């Protein structure tokens, strides 16, 4: 099927079979590789993108449901004020280790701060529960979200 | 230092340097030709604009060598760290070998910094002396009057960017022994303000992992593998797969271990594999269940051991224990564990114009796939190139002695006309069921205690499937039949233990086994530290003081263990836990580093344990990048704790029961409340940090739970009487 996909402010004409996950359209067709494949079953969050401003797992989001939707990936998240604050906090605290999950972590963190600009540590843990990091950078993820919240206030 | 501008001199020095490198001595020489950008030695390239490139011989999987080795170059060269960019070395076991491994290029055993520390400093220092010599010659001044600061050569009343002298320096012979900084002169080594060099690219989506390779006209290959370990493909029916748009073809791999499914893209490859029907021959396949493997291991530790590891008199040890006032007798079992790095395994092979191939890979041990790919594709070694890319985690999984996934890619490539690049992709299910696991291990320990609770005898038996036997590491790390990785952490314990006997039994192959972050220490640290903790409790003595008494002996190892133990206890407020909380402690030496951890919990095993805080103290010699060290402790702790809490791989009839993260549940952000890391100042040579944070974490948790709950002797905890809040 042919679909017109609005992604990072641009419209792309994409040809894909119904049932194709958005993840593989983003990675294999549009060649935007910041969005990662980690589990394919919405259990790790590495593939998180924003759909109409809300974080979703792109491995379980199907192409036929996306006509007219606005999608944002890690490559353009710095264009939002919250995205900038999160990325700045991530770099300031050197959150990353292998880095493979971090696009998804950041997309979820931006989702959290969009809903709740001043989350508590407990609220962070609840919201970020679905984003796995096998390097266990969690202490710094929590600290960086709190720091991003401060940056946003300044 | 001599200045040699003749071509003959250059060749002579380059040849000499290569010969020195081959035997693993000081590798600071190999000069490149005079054209800029000049490679002043194997590890440093500087262009005329002054951009320095550190050539990193280790792979970067988050443990920090891109930052760490760049720091060493910048420190000795006199550059700002921001002036240094990094790239990964090509595959060349002569130039880029791991000095701890011989003529072999690879990362493992937490050796990246330890084996590179002098080498990269010397490389930076040699580059500095050559640039200064070139400037001194040009300025007609004494080199001793010149220094390099932030990439600027200064002295004798003049300044100039170092890039101006690159071309001249590249014509010189490398100094035999460049002067290295004294520790008091360090401005980057040990500097807590130094930041990672890979943070930005890993934060904005631009970092390229092997999974991100997209070559023109590439095919994606996934492998259909036998559901039962050791099965082989006897036939295929791809009639349904043909209806998947983008499916190209399916072919049985030459080793029959799987079927390669070729497609135009990843999703089509997965779909076609689902649709493919494979006739499996299970005649040589594993049929056991993990319960049987467990029974075999437990039987082995309750029988006479196959190997006497430490040469002790077992009968004498038994007599000491039998005549003790109290005998503590515990049997332990540790399950199979998967590594599950965040980036599923992948690599890409493409043909090159010279008739060879280029392998794009998050490559942990380039020498192994280099040889394997050459053999499978029947190409000479010099026709193989490896592009080492960022790796999305490994924890040991990317370091297979068989280079299993690169070999799969090469076999799949060999079945084509080689005109299209082949990208091999593993799914998470392939990874969890893939059959490379931390071996299942059993221990039985009998400890005799006298009336004061001091240890009088220690009989320790271990049974495991050997990781090393049958691999090319066997000749180096197996002595008198004993696989060192099965007994490390017990046989070399620094505790003063009288009458200690250590026995080992190898058990028959159950799965393909592999090192897993901290290798043998994953289980030996657990057993040693929970047994000693229980002995202390039986003796009615404080677990910290009890351990300190066992570390009195004056050896450097004992002193360093005692130091981290005391530091962790002090920083954690040992013995001062608030009402409703319990503390457990453990200390362990691995990979040359000393780590103590205090775990503080609330709740109970029955109603739910919550890990509130973990306090860690580490002595890893000179702390090169303190913040990277802290991060590695945080990560090593999380890795150890997460698996001890709830992970295991089990088999039913030779098939793996788990399939993906929902049933091989990773540590999550809420599982650990806080981690605090303290680094012991040191002037000793740097040692490992990637693995040593892991071993004390699970026993410290177990010891905290045991304060008012059960002693956990079998993992994972969640399957053995502990619930987590």
Query: pLDDT of B515-563, one tens digit each?
Result: 999 999 999 999 999 999 999 999 999 999 999 999 999 999 999 999 9
Measured between beta carbons, which residues in chain B are less than 8 angstroms from residue A17?
Answer: 245
pLDDT at residue number B347: 98
Q: How many CB pairs under 8 A join A and B?
A: 177
Asked if B616 reaches chain A (Cβ–Cβ under 8 Å), the answer is no
Shared domain check, A138 and A95: yes
Q: What is the mean pLDDT of residues B624-634?
A: 98
Apex B517 CA angle, B223 and B87, nearest 5 = 75
The answer to whether the CB atoms of A102 and B427 lie below 8 A apart is no
Q: What is the mean pLDDT of residues B572-600?
A: 97
Strands B422-425, B219-225: pairing is parallel
**What's the order of all strands across the beta sheet hosting B38-41?**
B38-41, B44-46, B52-56, B84-88
Q: Kindly tell me the burial class for residue B382, based on how many C-beta atoms sit within 10 Å of its own C-beta (0-12, 13-18, 19 or more).
A: exposed
Asked whether B360 and B409 are in contact (CB, 8 A), the reply is no
Measured between beta carbons, which residues in chain A are less than 8 angstroms from residue B201?
Answer: 99
CA distances from B47 to B30, B148, B151, B539 (A): 17, 16, 12, 66
Q: Which of residues 663-692 of B touch A (CB under 8 A)?
A: 666-672, 674-675
Residue where one domain finishes, among candidates A23, A40, A74? A74
Percent of chain A with pLDDT over 90: 97
| Helix, strand or coil, per DSSP, at residue B515 | coil
Asked if A112 reaches chain B (Cβ–Cβ under 8 Å), the answer is no
Q: Which residue of B has its CA nearest to A17?
A: B245
Asked whether B297 and B441 are in contact (CB, 8 A), the reply is yes
CA distances from B148 to B51, B130, B135, B372 (A): 14, 11, 11, 44
Which ipTM did the prediction report?
0.98
| Helix, strand or coil, per DSSP, at residue B114 | helix
Shared domain check, A18 and A44: yes
Q: What CATH number has the domain bearing residue A21? A: 3.10.20.30
Asked if B2 reaches chain A (Cβ–Cβ under 8 Å), the answer is no
Q: What CATH number has the domain bearing residue A85? A: 1.10.150.120
Cα separation, B301 vs B319, in Å, equals: 19
Asked if A120 reaches chain B (Cβ–Cβ under 8 Å), the answer is no
Shared domain check, A93 and A55: no
Question: Of the candidates B61, B199, B267, which has its C-beta nearest A94's C-beta?
Answer: B199
Q: Which two tokens stand for residue B409?
A: 């890619």
Q: Which two tokens stand for residue B723?
A: 């619930």
Number of separate domains in chain A: 2
User: pLDDT class for B16, splitting at 50, 70, 90?
Assistant: very low
Shared domain check, A61 and A23: yes
Is the model's pTM score more than 0.90? yes
Query: pLDDT of A54-74, one tens digit each?
Result: 999 999 999 999 988 999 999
The answer to whether the CB atoms of B667 and A138 lie below 8 A apart is yes
User: pLDDT class for B237, splitting at 50, 70, 90?
Assistant: very high
Shared domain check, A125 and A61: no
Cα separation, B672 vs B635, in Å, equals: 11
pLDDT at residue number B510: 81
Asked if A62 reaches chain B (Cβ–Cβ under 8 Å), the answer is no
Cα separation, B152 vs A13, in Å, equals: 52
Shared domain check, A60 and A12: yes
Shared domain check, A87 and A70: no
- Under DSSP, the state recorded for B577 is P
Q: Which residue of B has its CA nearest to A73?
A: B205
Question: Most B CBs within 10 Å: which of A98, A112, A126, as the mutation test of the B interface?
Answer: A98
Residue where one domain finishes, among candidates A47, A74, A101? A74
Q: CATH says B7-185 is which class?
A: alpha beta
Q: Identify the residue whose tokens are 């605290």.
A: A93
Q: Which residue of A has its CA nearest to B220?
A: A28
CATH architecture of B302-337+437-719: 2-Layer Sandwich (3.30)
Cα separation, B287 vs B295, in Å, equals: 15
Shared domain check, A86 and A30: no
Cα separation, B174 vs B125, in Å, equals: 10
Asked if A147 reaches chain B (Cβ–Cβ under 8 Å), the answer is no
The answer to whether the CB atoms of A34 and B205 lie below 8 A apart is yes
User: pLDDT class for B20, splitting at 50, 70, 90?
Assistant: very low
Cα separation, B657 vs B651, in Å, equals: 6
Q: Which residue of B has its CA nearest to A96?
A: B199
Distance between B196 CA and the closest CA of chain A, angstroms? 6
Name residue A63's beta-bridge partners.
none
Residue in B593, B517, B523 with CA at minimum distance from that of residue B107: B517
Q: Identify the residue whose tokens are 């993108």.
A: A49
Residue where one domain finishes, among candidates A17, A49, A74? A74
The answer to whether the CB atoms of A75 and B61 lie below 8 A apart is no
User: pLDDT class for B15, splitting at 50, 70, 90?
Assistant: very low
Measured between beta carbons, which residues in chain B are less than 8 angstroms from residue A32?
Answer: 205
The answer to whether the CB atoms of B203 and A33 lie below 8 A apart is no
Query: pLDDT of B24-51, one tens digit each?
Result: 223 333 333 334 466 777 899 998 888 9
Asked whether B508 and B333 are in contact (CB, 8 A), the reply is no
pLDDT at residue number B82: 95
For chain B, give every residue range classified as CATH 3.30.365.10.
7-185, 210-283+345-425, 302-337+437-719
Domain that holds residue A62: 2-74
Biggest CA–CA distance in chain A, Å, is: 47
Cα separation, B187 vs B178, in Å, equals: 18
Question: Of the candidates B265, B427, B660, which has its C-beta nearest A24's C-beta?
Answer: B265
Shared domain check, A95 and A34: no
Range B210-283+345-425 classified under CATH 3.30.365.10: yes
> Which segment of B32-41, B144-153, B233-242, B357-366 scores lowest on mean pLDDT?
B32-41
Apex B351 CA angle, B348 and B353, nearest 5 = 145
Shared domain check, A63 and A111: no
User: Is the preceding peptide bond at B262 cis, omega within 30 degrees of 0?
Assistant: no
Q: Which of residues 16-55 of A touch B (CB under 8 A)?
A: 17, 20-21, 24, 27-29, 31-41, 43-44, 46
Q: Which of residues 393-412 of B touch A (CB under 8 A)?
A: 393, 395
Measured between beta carbons, which residues in chain B are less than 8 angstroms from residue A138?
Answer: 638, 667-669, 671-672
Question: Of the candidates A17, A37, A101, which has its C-beta nearest B344's C-beta?
Answer: A37
Shared domain check, A30 and A89: no
Cα separation, A24 vs A26, in Å, equals: 5
pLDDT at residue number B37: 60
Task: Give the DSSP per-residue string, B56-91.
Answer: E-S--SSSSHHHHHHHHHHHHHT--GGGEEEEEPPS
What's phi and psi for B246, nearest 5 deg? Answer: 100, -10
Cα separation, B647 vs B336, in Å, equals: 9
What's phi and psi for A3, nearest 5 deg? Answer: -140, 145
Query: pLDDT of B47-96, one tens digit each?
Result: 888 899 999 999 999 999 999 999 999 999 999 999 999 999 999 998 89
What's phi and psi for A111, nearest 5 deg? Answer: -60, -45
Q: Which two tokens stand for residue B290?
A: 């993990």
Shared domain check, A86 and A50: no
Residue B188 pLDDT greater than 70, yes or no: yes
Q: What is the mean pLDDT of chain B?
A: 93
Of chain A, the end-to-end C-alpha distance in Å amounts to 47
Query: pLDDT of A92-144, one tens digit each?
Result: 999 999 999 999 999 999 999 999 999 999 999 999 999 999 999 999 999 99
Cα separation, B637 vs B126, in Å, equals: 38
């Amino acid at each position: 099927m042919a679909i017109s996909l609005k992604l990072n402010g641009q419209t792309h004409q994409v040809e894909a079979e119904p049932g194709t996950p958005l993840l593989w359209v983003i990675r294999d067709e549009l060649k935007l590789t910041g969005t990662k494949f980690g589990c394919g079953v919405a259990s790790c969050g590495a593939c998180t993108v924003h759909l109409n401003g809300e974080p979703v797992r792109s491995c379980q989001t199907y192409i036929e449901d996306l006509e007219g939707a606005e999608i944002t990936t890690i490559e353009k998240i710095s264009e939002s004020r919250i995205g900038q604050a999160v990325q700045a906090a991530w770099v300031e605290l050197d959150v990353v280790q292998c880095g493979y999950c971090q696009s998804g972590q950041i997309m979820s963190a931006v989702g959290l701060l969009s809903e709740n600009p001043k989350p508590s540590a407990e609220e962070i843990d609840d919201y970020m529960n679905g984003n796995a990091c096998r390097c266990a950078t969690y202490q710094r993820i929590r600290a960086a979200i709190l720091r991003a919240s401060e940056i946003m206030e300044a | 230092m001599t200045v040699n501008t003749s071509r003959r001199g250059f060749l002579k020095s380059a040849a000499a340097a290569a010969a020195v490198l081959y035997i693993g001595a000081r590798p600071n020489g190999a000069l490149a030709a005079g054209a800029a950008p000049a490679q002043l030695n194997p590890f440093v390239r500087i262009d005329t604009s002054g951009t320095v490139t550190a050539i990193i011989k280790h792979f970067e999987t988050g443990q920090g060598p891109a930052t760490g080795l760049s720091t060493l170059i910048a420190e000795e060269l006199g550059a700002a760290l921001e002036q240094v960019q990094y790239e990964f070395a090509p595959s060349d076991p002569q130039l880029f070998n791991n000095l701890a491994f011989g003529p072999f290029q690879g990362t493992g055993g937490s050796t990246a910094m330890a084996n590179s520390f002098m080498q990269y400093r010397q490389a930076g220092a040699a580059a500095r002396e050559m640039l200064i010599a070139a400037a001194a010659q040009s300025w007609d001044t004494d080199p001793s009057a010149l220094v390099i600061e932030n990439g600027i050569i200064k002295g004798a009343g003049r300044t100039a960017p170092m890039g101006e002298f690159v071309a001249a320096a590249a014509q010189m012979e490398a100094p035999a022994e460049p002067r290295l900084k004294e520790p008091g002169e360090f401005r980057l080594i040990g500097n807590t303000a130094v930041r990672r060099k890979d943070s930005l690219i890993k934060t904005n989506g631009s970092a390229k992992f092997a999974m991100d390779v997209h070559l023109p006209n590439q095919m994606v290959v996934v492998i259909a593998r036998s559901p039962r370990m050791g099965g082989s493909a006897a036939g295929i029916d791809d009639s349904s797969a043909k209806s998947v748009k983008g499916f190209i073809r399916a072919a049985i791999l030459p080793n029959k271990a799987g079927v390669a499914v070729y497609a135009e893209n990843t999703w089509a490859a997965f779909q076609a594999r689902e649709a493919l029907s494979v006739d499996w021959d299970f005649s040589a396949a594993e049929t056991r269940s993990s319960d049987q493997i467990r029974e075999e291991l437990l039987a082995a530790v309750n029988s006479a051991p196959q190997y006497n590891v430490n040469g002790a008199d077992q009968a004498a040890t038994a007599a000491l224990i039998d005549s003790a006032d109290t005998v503590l007798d515990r049997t332990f079992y540790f399950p199979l564990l998967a590594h599950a790095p965040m980036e599923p395994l992948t690599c890409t092979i493409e043909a090159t114009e010279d008739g060879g191939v280029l392998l794009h890979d998050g490559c942990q041990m380039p020498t192994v796939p280099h040889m394997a790919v050459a053999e499978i594709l029947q190409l000479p070694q010099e026709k193989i190139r490896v592009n080492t890319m960022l790796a999305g985690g490994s924890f040991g999984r990317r370091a297979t002695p068989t280079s299993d996934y690169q070999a799969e890619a090469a076999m799949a490539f060999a079945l084509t006309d080689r005109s299209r690049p082949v990208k091999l992709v593993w799914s998470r299910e392939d990874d969890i069921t893939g059959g490379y696991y931390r071996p299942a291990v059993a221990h039985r320990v009998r400890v005799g205690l006298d009336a004061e609770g001091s240890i009088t005898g220690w009989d320790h038996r271990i049974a495991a499937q050997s990781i090393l036997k049958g691999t090319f590491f066997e000749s180096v790390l197996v002595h008198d039949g004993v696989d060192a990785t099965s007994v490390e952490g017990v046989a070399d314990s620094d505790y003063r233990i009288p009458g200690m006997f250590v026995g080992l039994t190898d058990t028959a192959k159950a799965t393909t086994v592999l090192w897993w972050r901290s290798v043998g220490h994953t289980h030996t640290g657990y057993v040693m530290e929970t047994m000693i903790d229980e002995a202390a409790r039986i003796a009615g003595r404080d677990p910290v003081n009890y351990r300190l008494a066992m570390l009195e002996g004056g050896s450097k190892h004992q002193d360093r263990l005692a130091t981290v133990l005391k530091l962790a206890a002090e920083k954690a407020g040992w013995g001062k836990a608030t009402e409703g909380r319990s503390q457990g402690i453990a200390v362990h030496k691995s990979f040359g580093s000393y780590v103590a951890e205090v775990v503080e919990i609330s709740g109970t095993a029955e109603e739910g344990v919550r890990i509130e805080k973990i306090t860690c103290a580490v002595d890893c010699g000179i702390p090169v990048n303190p913040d990277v060290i802290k991060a590695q402790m945080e990560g090593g702790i999380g890795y150890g704790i997460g698996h001890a809490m709830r992970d295991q791989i089990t088999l039913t009839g030779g098939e793996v029961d788990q399939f993906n993260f929902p049933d091989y549940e990773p540590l999550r952000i809420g599982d650990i409340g806080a981690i605090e890391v303290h680094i012991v100042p040191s002037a000793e040579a740097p040692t490992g940090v990637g693995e040593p944070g892991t071993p004390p974490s699970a026993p410290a948790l177990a010891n905290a739970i045991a304060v008012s709950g059960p002693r956990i002797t079998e993992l994972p905890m969640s399957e053995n009487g502990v619930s987590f809040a």
